[in-house]
Amino acid sequence: MKAKRDERPAELDPTTRAAIVRALVEHGVMVVDPDRTYVGEGVEVAPGTVLYPGTHLRGRTSVASECRIGPDTWIEDSTIEPGATVRYSVVEGSRVRAGSNVGPYAHLRPGADIGPEARIGNFVEVKAARIEHGVKAGHLAYIGDAQVGPEANIGAGTVTCNYDGAEKHRTVIESGAFIGSNTALVAPVTIGEDAVVAAGSTITDDVPPRSKAFGRARQVNKPGTSEEGTSHDR
């Protein structure tokens, strides 16, 4: 249903806010803690969805059925499709497709399009990027100005280096690609289908499909003892 419009922002008027939440509950939305749930004017929430404490829904936001939103989540001007979960996260001007899981502590910035059935984990930031079916970005990554194909895996610490100081450039990661941890993808660059990028790499050239890319210096071990140049408590 659509929340009732009011002359003042709903979150500034306790009476209006309570009426909006009450109407949602009557329509079949489960609101765990009405006193800590904030639904702005014009927001739509479908029956069967659960809103946990600390949820803020603002602007032109719509939440479909069977979603789990919150706790402590801010969603503004975004579309959340059936069966999606968003926890402890900020979602702005984005789309979360059916069955996707966002959070905790993720940030979807304008133009993020996630899923279906994708996983955006803790401390992952996505901006102006299409993340396709089944993609997993579990933690600590920045994906901006990118296209990520189905079933790709984005390792921790991966960054799409999209800005060269003057212009933005796009990164393309094709289906089934595996991006190792602490990888810098310097756009414009394409990672081919089912390719593997080794952890710790800086990738500046396209990686062909079904190949492996290593963009790091070889480890060098120097002889010597741990006491040289190091002080130890005795």
d(CA 201, CA 185): 8
Active-site option among 27, 139, 169, 232: 139
- Specify the amino acid at residue 145: D
Q: Single out the residue of 232, 231, 199 nearest to residue 215, CA to CA.
A: 199
- Residue 139 annotated to the active site: yes
**Is the separation of the CB atoms in 171 and 145 below 8 Å?**
yes
Q: Single out the residue of 184, 176, 170 nearest to residue 211, CA to CA.
A: 176
- Which positions are annotated as active-site residues? 139
